[in-house]
Amino acid sequence: MKQFEDYKYIDGGVCAAEGFSANGINAGINPDKSKNDLGAIASISPCKTACVYTQNKVKGAPIIVTKENLQKSNNISQAVIVNSKNANTCNANGIEIAEQSCELLAKYLGIPAEYVIVASTGVIGQPMSIEPFKNGMEELTYGLSKDGNRKAVNAIMTTDTKEKEVAVEFEIEGRRVHMGGMGKGSGMIHPNMATTLNFITTDVNISAELLQKAVDELVQITYNCLTIDGDTSTNDMLSVMANGMAGNKEITVENGDYKKVKQALYIVMMNLTRMLAADGEGANKLIEVNCVNAPTLEIAKAVAKSVAGSSLVKCAVNGCDANWGRILCAIGYTDAEFDISVLDVSYSSANGTVSVFENGAGVDFSEELATNILSAEEVYINIDMHQGSEKITAWGCDLTHEYVSINADYRS
C-alpha cells in the first residue's frame, strides 16, 4: 500500500476508531452456513454522519430508508445493519423490511430507529423476509465487539474473494485519532456518486457538514474513478460515521485539522477503491490508468475512465498483449474536447516501463518487455496529455473468462 507521511496503517478496519464495535453472523439468508450474511457496526455514542448514494434511478429500499433516517436525525447515526445475498430492491415489501430491520437493531441497542443506517446487497428483485433479522438480532448485537470487524466484512461479501478493510492512525491536537473502513465489491461496479457498500468510522470530532463536504469531494477522485463492468448498482452507498471520541475540539471550519482528516479520509477511500478494483469479478489484475497534464480535471477523469472501462483494453491486459491501439481508441471516443495529436502513452508495472505512443504516433518498442510488464499483478497505463496540469487516477481490472462464468449463473 502507498505510504503517506504522518499517517500509519493499522489493523482493525471499522473497529479501529475508539468506541466502535462490529459483528457478523449467518442468519439464514445465505444457505451457505460458512458465510456470514448479516452484519452490524455500532458506536457507543451518536455520530456525525456523511453519506453518498447511488444515482441509479432504481434505488434499493435500504437506500430510501437510510436517507429518510438521516433526514429525521439531522445526520446523526449510531449503528449500521447490513445484509448480503438479497439486495432488497424491486420487490413488494422492501421499504417495510428495511424499516423493521432498523427498528429491531435500535431496540436491542437502545437507540432511536432513525439512528440506524441500513444497507443490502445481493440479487435484485427477490422477495425478502424479516424472519432472519428477527431470529438473528440477539446473537448479532450480543456479539458486537472491538475485534468483530472481520466478521462484519465477511457478512457483506458477495462474489468478493478478498476481505476489504483499511485503517489509519494520525494526530490532531497531539491526540491519536483513527479512521477505518470496509467495503465490498465486486460486480455491477461503475460508481456514480458512491459505490457498492462502504462503511467508514472515525473517532475524530468533526461537524456533519464538513464531513459531508470532504466525502463529496473525495468520492469524485476515488470511488467515482472506479469501473469494473460499467454497471452502476442500485444499492451503492458509502457512509462515514464520526463519534468524536478522540476528544479533539469539534472541527467546524476548513483549517489545518480539517485538511488532516480529509487526507485520512482520502487514504481510506482510495485504498478501498483500489481493493475493489483488484478484486473485481473474475479479475486477475488491477489496472490503474494515470492521466496527467490534462486541460481540466473533468477531461482527465473522462479519459482515464474511458480507458479503464474499455472491454477491449481489459481483454488485452488479461492476455498481456500490448495492443495500445485500443487505448488510443478508448481515449478517442471519450466525450470531451481535447487535442489527440500531442499525447504520450506508456505501460508500466513492477517489471518496468515501456513507451508505446509519443507525440500522437506509435513508437517502436520491445514486445518482450511489454509482455513482461503486462504480466504483473498491477498494471499501470500512463497517459500524458501535454495540454494542462490536471491529473487523476482511474481504477479497473482485466476482463476474464471468470467474469463471464460468474455472471452467466449468478443467481443459482
Rg (CA), the chain: 22
Residue 48: closest CA among 255, 238, 196, 239: 239
Q: Are 139 and 37 in contact (CB under 8 A)?
A: no
Nearer to its own copies, 129 or 255 (CB): 129
* Residue among 253 and 408 whose Cβ is closer to its own copies: 408
Query: Measured from the CB atom, is 135 or 375 closer to its own copies?
Result: 375
Choice between 20 and 324, CB closer to its own copies? 324
Q: Nine-digit cell at 408? A: 452467466
Residue (of 162, 148, 141) closest to 11 by Cα position: 148
Please state the φ and ψ torsions of residue 130, each to the nearest 5 degrees: -80, -15
User: Min. distance of Cβ 253 from its own copies in angstroms?
Assistant: 36
Q: Match 511489454 to its residue by C-alpha cell.
A: 370
Closer by beta carbon to its own copies, 207 or else 220? 220
- Helix H or strand E segment including 308: helix 297-309
**Helix and strand totals (H; E) in the chain:** 11, 15
Query: In the bound complex, what is the minimum distance in angstroms from residue 59's beta carbon to its own copies?
Result: 8
Distance CA 277, CA 285 (A): 9
CB of 310 to its own copies, least distance (A): 6
Min. distance of Cβ 95 from its own copies in angstroms? 12
Report the nearest approach of its own copies to the CB of residue 314 (Å). Answer: 8
Q: Which of 141, 195, 201, 202 is catalytic?
A: 195
Characterize 66-84 residue by residue with b for buried, 16 or more Cβ atoms within 10 angstroms of its Cβ, and e for exposed.
beebbeebebbbbbbbbbb
What does the binding site for its own copies look like in residue numbers (CB under 8 A)?
A: 55-59, 87, 89-92, 123-126, 187-188, 190, 192, 229-234, 309-312, 315-316, 318-319, 321, 323-326, 328-334, 338, 340, 357, 361-362, 399-401, 403-412
Measured distance CA(381)–CA(287) in Å, rounded: 7
Q: Are strands 237-242 and 175-184 parallel, antiparallel or unpaired?
A: unpaired
Give the number of other CB atoms < 10 A from CB of residue 277: 26
The DSSP code sequence of 243-254 is --TT-PPPB-SS
DSSP string of 384-400? E--S-SEEEEEEEE---
d(CA 194, CA 403) in angstroms, rounded, equals 22
Q: Considering the complex, what minimum distance in angstroms separates the CB of residue 364 from its own copies?
A: 10
Question: What CA–CA distance (Å, rounded) separates 207 from 50?
Answer: 10
Does the annotation mark 66 as catalytic? no
Q: Give the Cα separation of 182 and 165 in Å (integer).
A: 4
Q: Please identify, using beta-carbon distances, which residue of 48 and 326 lies nearer to its own copies.
A: 326
Minimum CB separation from its own copies for residue 324, in Å? 6
Decide whether 84 or 248 has the Cβ nearer to its own copies: 84
Task: Name the residues annotated as catalytic.
Answer: 195
